[in-house]
Amino acid sequence: MTNALDDFLALSRQHPWYLSPSVYSLPCGTAAQIWDTGVLCLEPGNPAGRDLIISCGIHGNETAPIELCEALLHRLISGELTCRQRVLFIFGNPAAMNAAVRELDENLNRLFSGAHAEGNEVNQERKRAALLESYVTRFFSVREHAERLHYDLHTAIRPSQREKFAVYPYLHGAPYSRAQLALLQAAGINTVLLAHEPTTTFSYFSAHRFNAHAFTLELGKVMPFGDNDLTRLTALNQCLEALISEPGWQPPPLTPEHLDVFAVSQEIVKNTDDFALCFNNDVSNFTEFEQGVLLATDQQQQWHVQQEREAVVFPNAGVACGQRAALMVVPVSSFTLPLR
């Protein structure tokens, strides 16, 4: 096996901003194409009907998904697992991985759908977002009628009362996918948060621009490299392996009664450096607050719980001004979701 593919992640981290394109042959006629640092496309000789993007490391310190993807890629490169679908692996921010930080200059997951070109700011993460958009475009543009999938794997800054959950990008009124919700369940993800508006996240870019089934998957809490218990992601790994190696694979049918769905009730946005959250820093995702509780302040502005009970997701007072500092969510019935 070629040295370049023996440890693609290590090679990418040695060259965090650029890696020369190259092509290698894998078992069973699959071409492994290095497009750039952290970007590797697997092209079987006769691919089945799914085009699958698996991305991780958009935030450099979210290591469990990086380790999962590294192990999955190693099995494909070694021939232990046969590649039957077109697959694009993306390790998003190798430089941030090297520094063991979430971001270097700017949150990469707020720079898609053209946000990287807004304003006068220029940095490596903006350049990287533009490149990643171009690679997704290149990948999905090869086939018009393939089923397009994009799973963007993350871990959360805080612990969560629901260890694993998916963010379903805003679909502009289109129904949700019954098959994809069933796949999430098979992957051990039984909580889904429905996005309420367009965003500049990676998964929304794929969903909106290419009509892909795309999700942000939160898979536990941020841990250093080597400290993750990947057995907690066994179900997800098995689903990804089946998607890649078994052309006709389908998950078991959806069981709506076992699916917990949340909708956004309000968004808390940090507008100035005076912003503060009015609860402890160790509050976990999906912690509930009763109606009337003060959640955050920003100079003269205040946010309170508006409904009988609301739960907080993604609280982070350290975001840049103008960005979301928390979402408040409420449960909705999975039986009332418009599905296709």
The three-state secondary structure class of 4 is helix
Element of type H or E holding 334: none
pLDDT tens figures, 275-328: 999 999 889 999 999 999 999 999 999 999 999 999 999 999 999 999 999 999
For residue 13, which of 137, 118, 96, 112 has the smallest C-alpha distance? 96
Q: pTM of this prediction?
A: 0.96
Tally of CB atoms within 10 A around 115 = 17
C-alpha–C-alpha distance, residues 14 and 123, integer Å: 19
* CA max distance for the chain: 64
Question: For the residues 216-230, what does the mean pLDDT come to?
Answer: 96
Q: Which residue has the tokens 């129904």?
A: 175
C-alpha–C-alpha distance, residues 210 and 76, integer Å: 26
DSSP track, 230-261: GGGGHHHHHHHHHHHH-TT--PPPP-GGG-EE
335 neighbors 317 (Cβ within 8 angstroms): no
C-alpha–C-alpha distance, residues 220 and 233, integer Å: 9
Quick one: how many helices (H) and strands (E) in the chain? Answer: 8, 16
pLDDT beyond 50 at 190: yes
* CB contact burial 30-54 (16+ within 10 A = b; e otherwise): bebebbbbbbbbbbbeebbebbbbb
Structure tokens at 194: 């429905």
Nearest-10 Cα torsion for 231, 233, 234, 239: -170
Catalytic residues: 218
pLDDT tens figures, 109-153: 999 999 999 988 999 999 999 999 999 999 999 999 999 999 999
How many CA within 13 A on the CB side of residue 78? Answer: 10
* Percent of the chain scoring above 70 in pLDDT: 99
pLDDT value of position 3: 65
C-alpha–C-alpha distance, residues 189 and 192, integer Å: 8
What does pLDDT average to over the chain?
A: 96
- More confident position, 286 or 5: 286
pLDDT tens figures, 76-101: 999 999 999 999 999 999 999 999 99
What is the SS3 assignment for 263-286?
EEEEEEECCCCCCEECCCCCCCEC
